[in-house]
Amino acid sequence: MKAKVYVTLKPSVLDPQGKAIHHSVELMGWQGITDIRQGKYFEIALAETLDAERARALAERLAREVLSNPVIEDYRIEIEEP
Amino acid sequence: MKFGVIVFPGSNCDHDAYHVVSKHVGQPVDFIWHRETDLSAYDAIIIPGGFSYGDYLRAGALARFSPVMQSVRKFAAHGRFVLGICNGFQILCEAGLLPGALMRNRDLHFICRHVHVRVENSDTPFTHMLKQGAVLRLPIAHAEGNYFCDDATLDELEREGRIIFRYCDERGRLTDTSNPNGSRASIAGICNRGRNVLGMMPHPERACEDLLGSSDGSAIFNSLATTIAKMAES
């Protein structure tokens, strides 16, 4: 089983990297791109002995306690069953 | 009195801090490897600058799980002194010993130069030898020094006098251009409610000798040492 964790900056937090990318994209002449925000993506392989519920709980804890900083970031989890 | 300087894999200002304490403050000091857990011999702990764990994930995010950090937490809870400089400040925020977070600099660059900071509160164990409003010239060297906190936290820091240093110009004025990294409210250093834990992005340990361009940082270490000496007397 695999967990996919997406960590993104909270909407209230400025993202200077995303802004720089957006600015460059505008300079390149791309049309219709109104904003870009950059985040992090983790692929986590989980032990086969875990059922879906325990796998989600484990990934949830990892995302909350290690992969994200609650002061500035949110996270979202997807569990991919084999 | 004894100081300890914590060494993580990737710390690189540990020797500077050690040098300043032993040569300028004139007090005994040990290096403490991050796997150690016994801090009972120390009166003050310095968490130095550098790139602990290569800054992987987020600056300071992995260092906070090192065994020594559990002990630092208890050490701080007992009112003993902790000074986090640069990466040390980032680690203290990640560990929840100080509020807020240090994000990527506003202009995305790694900034390495001298800046001015204003002493916002001289009534702390770390700053009592400085004048309120004094302007210090200290070097910064970071890519993630952009201090962020929510409105409620900022109000609390202001109200409780816990903003210790703010970036300013050479005359002590707060301007947009004197804020090198986009920090909220120009914050360069804050302390905890007990005033025994200080985190700051500028490097006072690199500014203790005129030969290095400034000796303004030495008052911070000397303030701390005299505080500890006074506590030992009473």
Three-class SS state of B88: helix
Closest of B36, B50, B57, B162 to residue B99, by C-alpha: B162
For B116, how many CA atoms within 13 A lie in the half-sphere containing its CB?
A: 14
Chain B environment of A17 (Cβ under 8 Å)? 104, 108
Q: How far is CA B4 from CA B181, B188, B197, in A?
A: 30, 23, 14
- Summarised one tens digit per residue, pLDDT across range A34-82 is 999 999 999 999 999 999 899 999 999 999 999 999 999 999 999 998 7
The pLDDT-based confidence of A20 (bands split at 50, 70, 90) is very high
Strands B3-7 and B29-33: parallel
Contact yes or no for B105 and A20 at CB 8 A: no
The pLDDT value recorded for residue B213 is 92
Q: What is the least distance, in Å, from the CA of B106 to any CA of chain A?
A: 6
The pLDDT value recorded for residue A81 is 82
Q: How far is CA B153 from CA A65, B71, B92, B162, B209, in A?
A: 21, 26, 16, 11, 36
Q: How far is CA B203 from CA A51, A62, B222, in A?
A: 49, 33, 15
The pLDDT value recorded for residue B32 is 98
Beta bridge partners of A77: A5
The pLDDT value recorded for residue B165 is 98
| Dihedral pair phi/psi, residue A7, rounded to 5° | -110, 125
Q: What is the least distance, in Å, from the CA of B25 to any CA of chain A?
A: 36
Q: Which of A9, A64, A69, A75 to mutate to test the interface with B (most CBs of B within 10 A)?
A: A69
The pLDDT value recorded for residue B208 is 97
Please give the class, per CATH, of domain A2-80.
alpha beta
Centre a 10 Å sphere on the Cβ of residue A64 and count the other Cβ atoms it contains: 12
CB B85 within 8 A of CB B203: yes
pLDDT tens per residue across all 234 residues of chain B: 999 999 999 999 999 999 999 999 999 999 999 999 999 999 999 999 999 999 999 999 999 999 999 999 999 999 999 999 999 999 999 999 999 999 999 999 999 999 999 999 999 999 999 999 999 999 999 999 999 999 999 999 999 999 999 999 999 999 999 999 999 999 999 999 999 999 999 999 999 999 999 999 999 999 999 999 999 998
Closest of B90, B86, B112 to residue B100, by C-alpha: B90
Q: What is the least distance, in Å, from the CA of A52 to any CA of chain B?
A: 26
The complex scores an ipTM of 0.85
Q: Which domains does chain B have, with CATH numbers?
A: 3-233 (3.40.50.880)
Could you tell me the two tokens for A3?
A: 């967990």
Q: What is the least distance, in Å, from the CA of A48 to any CA of chain B?
A: 26
Residue of A nearest to B94 (CA): A69
Beta bridge partners of A16: none
Question: Which residues, in sequence order, are CB contacts of A51 under 8 Å at separation 6+?
Answer: none
The pLDDT value recorded for residue B9 is 96
Q: Which of A7, A8, A72 to mutate to test the interface with B (most CBs of B within 10 A)?
A: A72
Secondary structure element (H or E) that encloses residue A74, with its range: strand A73-80
Beta bridge partners of B197: B82
Chain A environment of B107 (Cβ under 8 Å)? 16
| Active-site residue, B86 included | yes
Contact yes or no for B103 and A72 at CB 8 A: yes
Q: Which of B53, B58, B102, B153 to mutate to test the interface with A (most CBs of A within 10 A)?
A: B58
In order, the DSSP letters of B192-206 are -TTS-EEEESS-GGG
CB B20 within 8 A of CB B29: no
Q: What does the domain layout of chain A look like in residue ranges?
A: 2-80
| Active-site residue, B208 included | no
| Active-site residue, B19 included | no
Secondary structure element (H or E) that encloses residue B189, with its range: strand B187-191
